[in-house]
Structures are given as C-alpha cells and as structure tokens.
C-alpha cells in the first residue's frame, strides 16, 4: 500500500495538485507497460466517462473518478479515448456540505486567463479530495486529487476546460474522501458552475501594493511597491518601482499607453507631479516634474494636486487644487483612512503650452470640484461636485483621538458630504456649462470615481452614503454615459469597499479592488457585455502579496518589453526621508 500511495503523490504532483519530489515507484512503471492503455502521464488521475454499454448510470453518461488505488477494471484498447472504466466511489451515509470558495459560483473567466487555484472549505472528516469538472455532452477533462483543500489544474487541462466552457457552464465538483483502496468513501461534496468568455483581457494591469493600515504605510513608504501583471501569466507581477523614500500616489496613463502621470512628492513640495514617456524603462527626473503649486503661487496657498488624471491624448492633465482635505487614520484594516476634499477647483496643465489655467465650469469656489475623468475622445469631462457649506479652511487627523472635531464628526457619521457627478464639454481646456449626470446625482448618495468605457458608451462609478475613496459601503454602479438609470453591478460584495475600477482597452473587462476576501484588499475581474451587464467576478490570485493590499489598478496596453521598470532620480526618491512621515496640513 505504501507503493500505491507514493505513486499517487507523484501523479498528484504531475497533475498540479501539489508539489512532491518523490520518484515514481515500480507500480507506476508497471502501469506504463500495461497493454492497450494509451494514457499520458499527466492524466493518470483522471476523470472517466462511462463507455457505451456501461452499467455506470441509468440511461445517461455518468461521471466517475478512476484512481489507481481503486479496483481498476481494464477494458482494453478504446480507440482514441485513452480512458479506463472504474466502479463508483462508496458513499458514507449522507454527504456533508463542503464549500468552494474559489471560484465563486457562476464565475466567468477571460479566454486568456492562466490556470487558477480551486479552493474550498470542508469541516468533514475528509483526508483528501477528488476534483472533477463535468461538461455538457459527457466529456470530462482529467484533473486529479489533492491532500489539501486546493487544486490547480495543469495548463493543458485548464485550456481544455476553457474550450469546453465557452458555450455553456461546466460544473466543478470537489468530493471529500476518507480511506484508501476499496475502503475509500465519499464524505463531503461541493460544486460550483463556471464559464469562459471568448473575450480576452489582452492588456496589462498596473497597480500599487501597500501595507495596512494606511498610517503604517505612511510611516513605511519604502514598503510600497508598484507592479505590472498579466492575467494570462502564472508568474507573479513584476515590481517596477519600490523603496521610495517619498510619497507617490495616484497614477494614470494616456489612452495609447505612451505617457504615465503620477503624484510624486519632491522634498517639501506635495504638489509635485511627474509626467513621463513610457518605454522599456520609465525615467523620472526633475525635467519630468511639474508642481501644482505653480498655479497662482503668489496667493501663498499651498496645494496637493489631488486625484489628477491625464487626457487620452496625453497633452493635458486635470487636477483638484487649492483644496482643503479631510484626512484621518485609524487602525481598522477594513477602513483605516479618511481622505477626501471639501474645497477645491479643477485646474488644467497643458504640456504643450507648459501653462496652468482653471477649467471654466469647474472652478467655482462655492463648490468642491474633484475626481475628474476625460471621455475617451477627450471632448468631455466628468467630475464629482458638492457644495462647500460650512467647512473649515484646514482639516487633518493624524491618529484616532487626536483629530479635529470636524474629522471625528465624519468618522462617526455626524457630518456628511455627498458628491454628485457632473458632465461638461472640455473644449480643449476652455470648459463649458456643467450639468448633473442623471442617475449619478441628486440621489441622496455620494457619487464618485467615474470611469468611461473605452467606446464612451458607459460610465462605471462608485456610490456610498457619504464622502469618497476607501468607503466600506462603496458599491459599483453602471449607467449610460449620457445619464439614465444607474444599475448596481452584480460583482459587488456588500460592505467590502468596492472601488478603484478600470476598463480593459477592449471594453469587455473591469478590474476593481475589493475586500471581499478579507481586509487586505485584492483585485477582481468582471466581464461587461454589450448591454452593460456584468458577470460574477474572478479573483486575481497571486497578484498581491499576502501582507499587502492592492489599490489603483489600471489597465494599460503595453508593447513588447515596455514598462519593465520606473527609474526615479535619487534626489527625488530620497527627498522625503528627512521630512515628517505624514502630511502636516
């Protein structure tokens, strides 16, 4: 029996369920020599459909699991099938209900998605699990078994599953088992449906990876990383920037992916901003820096330059300036920061003219105007707006218990600010008349972080009860770009801070950040069809380190070899080391 178990460990490794360096035993070698069986080594632990004339099942093709430690019935050569037939597993009374945690039931995968890891929870007495995928028509790709509650199919098996699930759902079933050989019994079972979309992602994802809580990240800026990953690769995302001694934050790309813009503090100037060309390496030095403080510097009012974004053609950048922000920190990993403006106007920086100017229609000091985004053709701009009201000229919280009263009022819900989305012509920076966006304004909620689909047909935005950014109750909604009825996306996880979303260049996928899987924010992917309907999401597992949280994911179409690293001039990257660790205004 030891030899048989050793063989199974070897075969499980080959099928991808877990790693083992054990060599194949004599039993395994003898199996290779059995006549009439043409089974590739990677399919030894396979899923077998019954043969014509089989008694397995009543009038249907029944799916059974064939493993070497069962009494395998050798039928002899079966032309072109490479399969064997085996008796069914024993059943130990009624089966306990296990739960598959990944993928979610009904999840839709991109056509170019790398093999995922199936994971499940099982409180039964199971000691190992059999994994199978049932496909309409009776054909079942070979998977295997695992001694732990997870399993990753081989690339070959995963490709077969994806091909089979393009037209209809397939069913992933995990069966918990005890015993070996003829004494083996099934004690638990769980199933989920999954499907594959013919639409690929066909783009990279650029994102920031931070430790939590945010106060800790502010004190340990060198721990923050910027990474680039592809859903088609099983390799971890490459780190392109890390160990920054100064604060760097919101980033955006031009539509062609040739320009990268990023908040990047330089020494004591928190209004510094980098705009650089994207090649194999992105180089950021003083020639690539501007400062939002250069806008009306003579008034003596310092500015951050908040939630900036670059135009699709890469010529202009829009940003919130002359702002008052509410900033607060708490140790709760699910919500460790308040960060939003309560005053501010929109200003444009024109790279060609090297000049700053206010954006008419979004420069009213009676409102806070923030969070701008350009339409894909660059002709319009959508932004979040709220009345200034009776707000203080300065507001900052550093630690819980040390906050100005106004910040504590926001923490505790005694004070609210609710933003509406407004839409207006950009007109090359001359602006126009802002109009509330129907479906994302006047609804008694806070509406923020709008993002256009690449074809300009849809806008996906966040909605919460109050404030913006990092809100636990933030949910994703979609509506026509001209306004209309907003529809809540099905990919949302209630109370799990769904936000920071971005459309793929082909408009068929939306990546977003969510705490659905726990307090360390992960990235998720949902399919968007031509009617704006989204799918059950899939998690981008392996993208984010277990001790970090992901934010600001953005799709970018990169050419071969592009964006391998971001090289920041040393005088800039180390310029914050001697300064206070957190903002002081």
pLDDT tens digit sequence for 93-149: 588 889 999 999 999 999 999 999 999 999 999 999 999 999 876 656 558 899 999
Task: Identify the CA nearest to 451 among candidates 381, 526, 521.
Answer: 381
The verdict on 257 and 128 lying in the same domain is no
Residue range 8-29: mean pLDDT, rounded: 31
The verdict on 408 and 532 lying in the same domain is yes
Report whether pLDDT(518) > 90: yes
Task: Identify the CA nearest to 247 among candidates 570, 584, 583.
Answer: 583
Q: Where are the alpha helices (DSSP H) in 322-471?
A: 405-412
The verdict on 227 and 174 lying in the same domain is no
The answer to whether residue 304 is domain-embedded is yes
The verdict on 290 and 374 lying in the same domain is yes
- Measured CA to CA, the distance from residue 48 to residue 395 in angstroms comes to 66
The verdict on 141 and 214 lying in the same domain is no
pLDDT for the residue 389: 76
Q: Which tokens is 149 given?
A: 């509650």
What total of structural domains would you count in the chain? 2
Report whether pLDDT(527) > 80: yes
pLDDT 10s digits, 338-366: 999 999 999 999 999 999 999 999 999 99
Which CA distances in Å does 386 have to 24, 343, 365?
A: 68, 9, 11
Place 408 in a pLDDT band, splitting at 50, 70 and 90.
confident
The verdict on 423 and 299 lying in the same domain is yes
* Pairwise pLDDT comparison (43 vs 481), residue with the higher score: 481
Select from 157, 179, 196 the last residue of a domain. 196
Place 390 in a pLDDT band, splitting at 50, 70 and 90.
low
Strand-pair category, 118-121 with 99-102: antiparallel
| CATH number of the CATH domain containing 547 | 2.120.10.30
The verdict on 146 and 242 lying in the same domain is no
Residue range 559-569: mean pLDDT, rounded: 96
Which CA distances in Å does 111 have to 163, 203, 350, 515?
A: 8, 13, 40, 25
The answer to whether residue 100 is domain-embedded is yes
The verdict on 171 and 261 lying in the same domain is no
- Measured CA to CA, the distance from residue 421 to residue 468 in angstroms comes to 12
The verdict on 453 and 555 lying in the same domain is yes
- Measured CA to CA, the distance from residue 572 to residue 574 in angstroms comes to 5
Residue range 417-422: mean pLDDT, rounded: 98
Lowest-pLDDT choice from 34-38, 204-208, 495-499, 557-561:
34-38
CA-CA-CA-CA torsion for 358, 361, 363, 366, nearest 10 degrees? Answer: 170
pLDDT 10s digits, 41-91: 232 223 322 223 333 333 333 333 332 222 222 222 222 222 222 334 444
Place 406 in a pLDDT band, splitting at 50, 70 and 90.
confident
pLDDT for the residue 25: 31
The answer to whether residue 427 is domain-embedded is yes
The answer to whether residue 287 is domain-embedded is yes
pLDDT for the residue 40: 32
| Domain extent for 515 | 204-574
The verdict on 444 and 345 lying in the same domain is yes
- Would you say 174 and 85 are in contact if contact means Cβ atoms under 8 Å apart? no
Select from 143, 174, 196 the last residue of a domain. 196
- Would you say 318 and 308 are in contact if contact means Cβ atoms under 8 Å apart? yes
Residue range 201-227: mean pLDDT, rounded: 96
Query: Percentage of residues in the chain with pLDDT exceeding 90?
Result: 73
Which CA distances in Å does 274 have to 136, 246, 252, 351?
A: 53, 13, 11, 12
The answer to whether residue 151 is domain-embedded is yes
Mean pLDDT of the residues in the chain: 83
Select from 142, 163, 196 the last residue of a domain. 196
pLDDT for the residue 62: 35
pLDDT for the residue 135: 85
| CATH number of the CATH domain containing 120 | 2.60.40.10
Instruction: Provide the whole-model pTM.
Output: 0.82
The verdict on 155 and 299 lying in the same domain is no
DSSP class of 541 = T
Lowest-pLDDT choice from 148-152, 248-252, 398-402, 577-581:
398-402
pLDDT for the residue 403: 57
pLDDT 10s digits, 424-473: 999 999 999 999 999 999 999 999 999 999 999 999 999 999 999 999 99
The answer to whether residue 306 is domain-embedded is yes
pLDDT 10s digits, 371-380: 999 999 999 9
The answer to whether residue 418 is domain-embedded is yes
Report whether pLDDT(175) > 90: yes
The answer to whether residue 67 is domain-embedded is no
- Measured CA to CA, the distance from residue 112 to residue 256 in angstroms comes to 21
Strand-pair category, 458-464 with 475-480: antiparallel
The verdict on 211 and 188 lying in the same domain is no
């Amino acid at each position: 029996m030891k030899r048989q178990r050793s063989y199974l460990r070897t075969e499980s490794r080959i099928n991808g369920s877990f790693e083992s360096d054990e060599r194949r035993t004599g039993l395994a070698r003898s199996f290779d020599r059995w006549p009439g069986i043409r089974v590739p080594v990677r399919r030894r632990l396979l899923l077998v459909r019954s043969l014509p004339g089989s008694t397995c099942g009543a009038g249907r093709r029944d799916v059974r699991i064939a493993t070497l430690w069962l009494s395998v019935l050798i039928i002899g050569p079966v032309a072109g099938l490479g399969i064997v037939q085996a008796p069914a597993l024993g059943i130990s009374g009624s089966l306990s209900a296990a739960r598959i945690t990944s993928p979610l039931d009904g999840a839709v995968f991109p056509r170019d998605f790398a093999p995922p890891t199936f994971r499940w929870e099982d409180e039964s007495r199971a000691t190992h699990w059999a994994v199978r995928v049932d496909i309409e028509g009776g054909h079942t790709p070979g998977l295997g078994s695992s001694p732990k509650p997870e399993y990753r199919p081989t690339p070959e098996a995963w490709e077969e599953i994806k091909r089979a699930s393009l037209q209809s759902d397939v069913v992933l079933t995990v069966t918990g088992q005890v015993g070996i050989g003829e004494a083996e019994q099934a004690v638990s079972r769980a199933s989920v449906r999954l499907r594959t979309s013919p639409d690929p992602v066909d783009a990279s994802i650029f994102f920031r990876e931070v430790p939590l809580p945010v106060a800790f990240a502010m004190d340990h800026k060198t721990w923050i990383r910027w990474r680039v990953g592809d859903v088609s690769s099983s390799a971890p995302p490459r780190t392109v920037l890390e160990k920054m001694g100064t604060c760097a934050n919101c980033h955006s790309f031009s539509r062609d992916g040739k320009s990268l813009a990023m908040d990047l503090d330089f020494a004591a100037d928190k209004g510094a901003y980098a705009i650089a060309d994207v090649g194999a390496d992105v180089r950021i030095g003083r020639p690539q820096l501007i400062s939002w403080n250069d806008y009306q510097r003579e008034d003596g009012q310092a500015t951050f330059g908040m939630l900036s974004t670059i135009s699709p053609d890469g010529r202009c950048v829009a940003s919130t300036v002359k702002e008052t922000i509410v900033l607060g920190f708490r140790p709760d990993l699910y919500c460790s920061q308040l960060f939003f403006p309560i005053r501010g106007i929109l200003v444009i920086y024109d790279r060609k003219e090297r000049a700053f100017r206010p954006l008419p229609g979004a420069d009213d000091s009676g409102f806070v105007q923030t969070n701008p985004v350009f339409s894909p053709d660059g002709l319009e701009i959508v932004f979040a707006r709220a009345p200034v009201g009776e707000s203080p000229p300065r507001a900052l919280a550093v630690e819980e218990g040390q906050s100005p009263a106004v910040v504590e009022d926001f923490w505790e819900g005694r004070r609210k600010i609710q933003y509406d989305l407004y839409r207006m012509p950009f007109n090359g920076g001359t602006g126009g008349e802002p109009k509330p966006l129907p479906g994302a304004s006047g609804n008694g909620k806070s509406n923020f972080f709008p993002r256009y689909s690449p074809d300009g047909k849809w806008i996906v935005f966040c909605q919460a009860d109050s404030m913006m950014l990092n809100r636990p109750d933030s949910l994703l909604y979609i509506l026509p770009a001209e306004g209309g009825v907003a529809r809540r996306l099905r990919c949302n996880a209630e109370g799990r801070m769904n936000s920071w979303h971005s459309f793929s260049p082909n408009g068929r996928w939306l990546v977003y950040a969510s705490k659905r899987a726990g307090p360390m924010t992960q990235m998720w992917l949902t399919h968007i069809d031509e009617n704006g309907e989204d799918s059950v999401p899939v998690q981008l597992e392996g993208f984010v380190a277990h001790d970090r949280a992901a934010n600001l994911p953005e799709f970018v179409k990169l050419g071969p070899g592009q964006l391998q690293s971001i090289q920041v001039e040393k005088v800039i990257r180390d310029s914050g080391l001697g300064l206070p660790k957190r903002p002081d205004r």
